[in-house]
Amino acid sequence: MVSWNVRGINKVARNKEVSSYLRTFHVPIVALLETRVKMKNANRIRNKIGGRWNYMDNYDKHENGRIWLLWDHREVNLKLIQTGEQFIHVEVYSLDQSLMYVALVIYAFNQLDRRKELWNKIEDIGINLNGPWIVIGDFNNILAYQDKIGGNHVVEAEFRDLKNMMSNMGLFEADMKGNHYTWSNKHIADVIYSRIDRVIGNVDWFQKYQDAYYEVLDPNISDHSSIKIGMQIQNPRKGYLFRFINGITKDPSFMQLVASSWQMETRGTAMEKLWCKLKRLQNVLRPLSRKFTDMQNQIQKARQELHQGQMLLQ
């Protein structure tokens, strides 16, 4: 799946470039955000993109149809659950009609109070969801002080509501490859970078799709980078022992991950339940452990990056 804020696709040249870039994604689901296309022009613009896509949108909630959701019916089926000004809520099914996961595609408003409405709505939706689900799109919201460079000074109030929602819902941000920042004002002077496009998911999602990777792609003609969820094609591998690394207990998400996984129901005898919970916990903790593997090489790489950064500053 790919999410991309395209910043308008009305112009012919821009539409052609978006259409060409879509073909490089090689995914069955694409969310296009901020298309700036009026409903009366939607079909004409979509026909120029190409023929393999089915579409759904949120024109019923906003005149500009702020979110277009495209999917290839030859690979997946999407069932619309609900739309809002800032989101589309769908269930994703395989071709044999088995439910794969639930997705909320979002394009949040610029105003802090309107975004808070979205976080509250996600809580309302999430409280009734079971199984794997994700939230993907343009959050228009940073999640930490280091998610922004330039512009006005970051204050905690900017990301407190989003963090609280994620904590309440047991949602965690995916560790994405590529550039940290997903948006730039593209100015030469007074440049601003921020990380406002992201993927967050619950424990069930990360357990079911352990071979998924998350990547920040090039922005192409937009000021937003597209973000991609892909699946690793791996050869069968031999089992290996799980090593518990004490350092992961320092991670802020450690206790929440353990609690969320441990509280999930398990059947069998007391010993079988314990074994299943410990086995399930290994998959939850492995992503945290990866941060500490090959530590010596990581330290050396960090030293080189520090040296290069200091040379550039000089």
The domain ranges of the chain are 2-231, 238-314
Task: Note whether 138 and 3 are within 8 A (CB).
Answer: yes
Name the pTM for this structure: 0.75
Angle at 210 between CA 179 and CA 168, to 5 degrees: 80
Cβ-Cβ contacts under 8 Å for 115 (sequence gap 6 or more): 86, 108, 109, 139, 140, 141, 161, 162
Tell me the pLDDT tens digit for each residue of 150-176.
Answer: 999 999 999 999 999 999 999 999 989
- pLDDT per residue as tens digits for the range 261-312: 898 877 767 877 887 788 888 888 888 877 776 666 777 788 888 888 888 8
Looking at the predicted structure, is the pLDDT value of residue 34 above 60?
yes
CATH number of 2-231: 3.60.10.10
Contact 148, 195 (CB under 8 A): yes
Give the type of residue at 259.
A
Separation between Cα atoms, residue 85 and residue 147, nearest integer Å: 25
